[in-house]
């Protein structure tokens, strides 16, 4: 009996689809057979080639081939025929003389090379990385304990200060109209801006274009200057531009970017309200945000990227400006480290946005950036690293030379950079100074790097639906709760309500009211009798008024763009019912939590979470942390909330129910963090609870999914045949 049903037209379409599927299956089988035949032929030919090259006659005729190729003037082919020396190619570094070695010795050489590469991968991390992270965490705890004003959106100063904007140009003509136009569009008073361009020998008409712009628009600014000098590098250019002015703040910026209209008022307001020991405020770049670590609450960071950064002039002058030994790339890290060595601190300001058009495509490799960054990292190890950081420089260099090339002739360029490093090494070592500051090195990076460097940030959408953030908390969690609230306040997405549910009394009411008053924001507080995690979550869902809902447990934190990224993903995927992103797992020792402090270990990223939405996989693997997903509230209205008798994996059960018949959008970027116990004994107890809960929750979830799918097929529950 046919299983085709429906209208005649639907039956016709179904039959055609099945016929097409049968044809594709046959074609696929044919292609697989052809592929197998080609693999067999390739194996046969490779075996014959290996036999010929390994034969005695081939080895005996090596001198003849060498002489013949040398006579043609082809030295590379002649050298290759001898099997000696180095071969440089895009596919990597190969030692040619291995062909002359016996097989056992060749294997030992290959094994040794692999061991060297593996060893160098591990030793590239500085021993101070953990302490450098903890220093930022300690200040986070101190600031969260006693803040008295909104740390994210400070009030504007009574009078806006003068600022010097310096731009270094080299063949930058195509960017100038957009750059200057976005400055003219600033809310910041243009009469307070001294604009200064430093050209480094452009040949595309940059200087002439700047003079034309000055004639047309220069009167809008406090001053407009064009300086021309020899190209001595990015830092040298900005040293010239900054020293030509005297404003209390200096904005160092690239020409290949544009400003959001409120970018300058936001970053200058933050600077004016900040402590005197803060020297830098870095603006956020779009469409690709710089992926380095910053504190989700204070914005403190170990180094600033200088594509667009506001500097306190007094701090800049105190350390003598940029180090002109670095031509380009890494000069911003060097300046940041020297500022920190001098006792200053640095911030990231995600609320102040510039659009930086630095990459033509994703994962673009720029030769100057590659070699410049390598030189800078090794140079900074000499100036700021521990003696162990310095001792590993030869190993890191060797690994670069042993690894495959990242672009043609990259190894040649690296050799030039290493020669220059050797020449400058004595000077770098003489510049070392004692300091209590800690300077992290993560191989070729300087700090932790968040996944998702090339995930485009959403544009400025006009529609801003209300998002409800639901936080579950309980007695004794004041430190966690305050920091959780501050991370919500720091979101770059503005249309948010925060619902805080205390499970087991109203002991945290005073904390919520204090934070709400100090920050100038309204928080909704729901005290409950002791009802458990799931029931507390349901109370928050019921109270939520937003079109979308997201959970943030009190010990978890959002990075500034978390909600913006998820709402943006849903705007791009209107058929999706939820959106989720990647997250860091942060082992935490909370033994000092009653004193308002804790110890964070280095964050962990589980690659199993890097997974586009797949409901079948989700039923077996909980790869979406609770704070990582934003969903439509109507899912709760239609399908209910947490199963209130579940004390573990209740969120996994909920996501599976919400996933039935729906699609979730995926944002492959780390935008939040969640905590796990750092103590191995506590972690093992937690793992035992989750292991014990897994099978029962899995069985219940599959049963509920079957019911939602309204299927009569067997549900294949665990233990059933």
Sign of CA dihedral 207, 210, 211, 212: positive
Superfamily of domain 467-682: Spore Coat Polysaccharide Biosynthesis Protein SpsA; Chain A (3.90.550.10)
- pLDDT of 14 over the 70 cut: no
Q: Report pLDDT for 69.
A: 60
- pLDDT of 202 over the 90 cut: yes
Q: What distance in Å separates the CA atoms of residue 180 and residue 216, rounded to the nearest whole number?
A: 11
- pLDDT of 672 over the 90 cut: yes
What would the mean pLDDT of 149-157 be, rounded to a whole number? 76
- pLDDT of 326 over the 80 cut: yes
Q: What distance in Å separates the CA atoms of residue 114 and residue 430, rounded to the nearest whole number?
A: 35
Q: Report pLDDT for 599.
A: 96
Q: Report pLDDT for 712.
A: 44
649 compared with 150, residue with greater pLDDT: 649
* Residues 497, 503, 504, 506, Cα dihedral to 10°: -10
93 compared with 592, residue with greater pLDDT: 592
| 315: enclosing H helix or E strand | helix 313-319
Tally of CB atoms within 10 A around 690: 13
Question: What band does 2 get if pLDDT is binned at 50, 70 and 90?
Answer: very low
Question: What band does 403 get if pLDDT is binned at 50, 70 and 90?
Answer: confident
Tokens linked to 62: 């090596």
- pLDDT of 16 over the 80 cut: no
Question: What band does 116 get if pLDDT is binned at 50, 70 and 90?
Answer: low
Q: Looking at the chain, how many residues does it have?
A: 721
Percent of the chain exceeding pLDDT 70 equals 82
Tokens 């140079």 correspond to what residue?
A: 379
Q: What distance in Å separates the CA atoms of residue 107 and residue 111, rounded to the nearest whole number?
A: 6
Tokens 């410049």 correspond to what residue?
A: 372
Q: Report pLDDT for 389.
A: 94
CATH 3.90.550.10 placement within the chain: 153-358+365-430, 467-682
* Angle at the Cα of 674 from the Cα atoms of 670 and 678, rounded to 5 degrees: 125
Least confident of 62-76, 124-138, 534-548, 684-698: 62-76
Least confident of 109-123, 345-359, 628-642: 109-123
Tokens 């300046």 correspond to what residue?
A: 335
* Angle at the Cα of 207 from the Cα atoms of 201 and 209, rounded to 5 degrees: 145
What would the mean pLDDT of 216-229 be, rounded to a whole number? 96
Show the DSSP H helices in 503-625 as ranges. Answer: 509-519, 533-543, 562-572, 615-618
DSSP-assigned letters across all residues of 184-244? HT-SS-GGGEEEEEEE---SSSHHHHHHHHHHHHGGGSSEEEEEE-----HHHHHHHHHHT
Q: Report pLDDT for 717.
A: 38
Q: What distance in Å separates the CA atoms of residue 211 and residue 516, rounded to the nearest whole number?
A: 51
Tokens linked to 252: 């160092």
- pLDDT of 95 over the 80 cut: no
Q: Report pLDDT for 84.
A: 46
What would the mean pLDDT of 651-659 be, rounded to a whole number? 96
- pLDDT of 592 over the 70 cut: yes
Q: What distance in Å separates the CA atoms of residue 183 and residue 188, rounded to the nearest whole number?
A: 9
What would the mean pLDDT of 366-373 be, rounded to a whole number? 87
Question: If you average pLDDT over every residue of the chain, what do you get?
Answer: 87
- pLDDT of 138 over the 90 cut: yes
Q: Report pLDDT for 321.
A: 97
Sign of CA dihedral 402, 45, 82, 71: negative
What would the mean pLDDT of 536-549 be, rounded to a whole number? 97
Question: Global pTM?
Answer: 0.82
Q: Report pLDDT for 43.
A: 73
Q: Is 639 exposed, middle or buried (CB count within 10 Å of its CB: 0-12, 13-18, 19+)? A: middle
- Under CATH, to which class is 153-358+365-430 assigned? alpha beta
What would the mean pLDDT of 453-479 be, rounded to a whole number? 91
- pLDDT tens-digit readout, 410-419: 889 999 999 9
- pLDDT of 584 over the 60 cut: yes
Q: Report pLDDT for 1.
A: 39
Least confident of 362-366, 450-454, 514-518, 535-539: 362-366
Percent of the chain exceeding pLDDT 90 equals 69
């Amino acid at each position: 009996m046919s299983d085709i049903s429906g209208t005649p037209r639907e039956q016709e379409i179904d039959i055609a689809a099945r016929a097409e599927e049968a044809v594709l299956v046959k074609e696929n089988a044919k292609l697989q057979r052809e592929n197998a035949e080609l693999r067999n032929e390739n194996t046969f030919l490779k075996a014959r080639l290996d036999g010929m090259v390994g034969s005695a006659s081939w080895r005996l005729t090596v001198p003849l081939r060498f002489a013949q190729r040398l006579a043609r003037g082809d030295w590379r082919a002649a050298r290759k025929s001898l099997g000696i020396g180095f071969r440089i190619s895009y596919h990597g570094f190969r030692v040619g003389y291995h062909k002359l070695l016996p097989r056992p010795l060749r294997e030992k050489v290959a094994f040794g090379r692999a061991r060297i590469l593996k060893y160098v991968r591990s030793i590239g991390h500085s021993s101070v990385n953990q302490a450098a992270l903890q220093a930022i965490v300690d200040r986070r705890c101190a600031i969260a304990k006693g803040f008295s004003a909104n740390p994210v959106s400070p009030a504007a100063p009574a009078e806006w200060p003068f600022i010097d904007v310096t731009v270094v140009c080299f063949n930058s003509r195509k960017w100038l109209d957009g750059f200057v136009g976005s400055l003219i569009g600033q809310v910041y008073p243009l009469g307070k801006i001294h604009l200064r361009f430093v050209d480094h020998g452009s040949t595309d008409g940059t200087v002439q274009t700047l003079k034309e712009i000055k004639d047309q628009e220069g009167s809008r600014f406090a001053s407009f200057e064009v300086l021309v000098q020899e190209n001595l590098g990015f830092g040298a250019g900005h040293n010239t531009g900054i020293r030509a002015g005297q404003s209390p703040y200096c904005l160092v910026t690239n020409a290949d970017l544009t400003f959001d209209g409120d970018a300058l008022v936001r970053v200058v307001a933050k600077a004016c309200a900040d402590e005197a020991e803060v020297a830098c405020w870095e603006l956020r770049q779009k469409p690709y945000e710089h992926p380095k670590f910053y504190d989700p609450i204070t914005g403190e960071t170990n180094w600033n990227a200088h594509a667009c950064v506001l500097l306190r002039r007094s701090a800049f002058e105190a350390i003598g400006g940029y180090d002109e030994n670095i031509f380009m790339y890494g000069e911003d890290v060097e300046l940041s480290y020297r500022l920190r060595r001098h006792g200053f601190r640095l911030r990231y300001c995600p609320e102040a946005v510039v659009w930086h058009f630095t990459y033509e495509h994703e994962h673009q490799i720029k030769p100057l950036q590659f070699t410049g960054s390598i030189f800078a990292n090794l140079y900074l190890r000499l100036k700021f690293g521990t003696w162990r950081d310095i001792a590993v420089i030869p190993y890191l260099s060797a690994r670069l030379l042993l690894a495959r090339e990242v672009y043609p002739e990259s190894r040649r360029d690296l050799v030039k950079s290493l020669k220059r490093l050797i020449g400058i090494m004595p000077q770098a070592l003489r510049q070392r100074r004692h300091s209590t500051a800690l300077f992290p090195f993560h191989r070729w990076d300087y700090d932790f790097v968040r996944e998702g460097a090339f995930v485009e940030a959403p544009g400025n959408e006009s529609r801003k639906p209300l998002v409800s953030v639901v936080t579950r908390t309980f007695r004794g969690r004041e430190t966690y709760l305050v920091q959780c609230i501050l991370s919500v306040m720091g979101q770059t997405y503005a249309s948010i309500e925060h619902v805080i549910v205390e499970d087991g009394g109203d002991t945290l009411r005073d904390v919520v009211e204090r934070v709400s008053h100090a920050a100038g924001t309204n928080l909704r507080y729901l005290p409950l009798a002791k009802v458990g995690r799931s029931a507390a979550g349901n109370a928050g869902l019921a109270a939520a008024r937003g079109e979308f809902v997201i959970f943030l447990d009190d010990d978890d934190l959002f990075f500034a763009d978390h909600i913006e990224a998820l709402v943006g993903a849903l705007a791009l995927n209107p058929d999706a019912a939820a959106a989720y992103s990647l997250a860091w797992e942060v082992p935490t020792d909370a033994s000092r939590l009653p004193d308002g402090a804790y110890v964070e270990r280095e964050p962990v990223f589980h690659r199993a979470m890097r997974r586009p939405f797949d409901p079948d996989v989700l039923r077996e693997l909980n790869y979406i942390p609770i704070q990582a997903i934003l969903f439509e509230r109507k899912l709760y209205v239609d399908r209910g909330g947490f199963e209130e008798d579940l004390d573990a994996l209740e969120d996994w059960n909920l996501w599976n129910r919400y996933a039935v018949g729906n699609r979730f959008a995926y944002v492959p970027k780390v935008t939040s963090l969640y905590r796990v116990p750092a103590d191995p004994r506590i972690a093992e107890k937690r793992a035992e609870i989750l292991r014990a809960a897994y099978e029962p929750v899995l069985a219940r979830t599959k049963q509920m999914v079957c019911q939602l799918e309204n299927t009569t097929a067997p549900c294949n529950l665990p233990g059933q045949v």
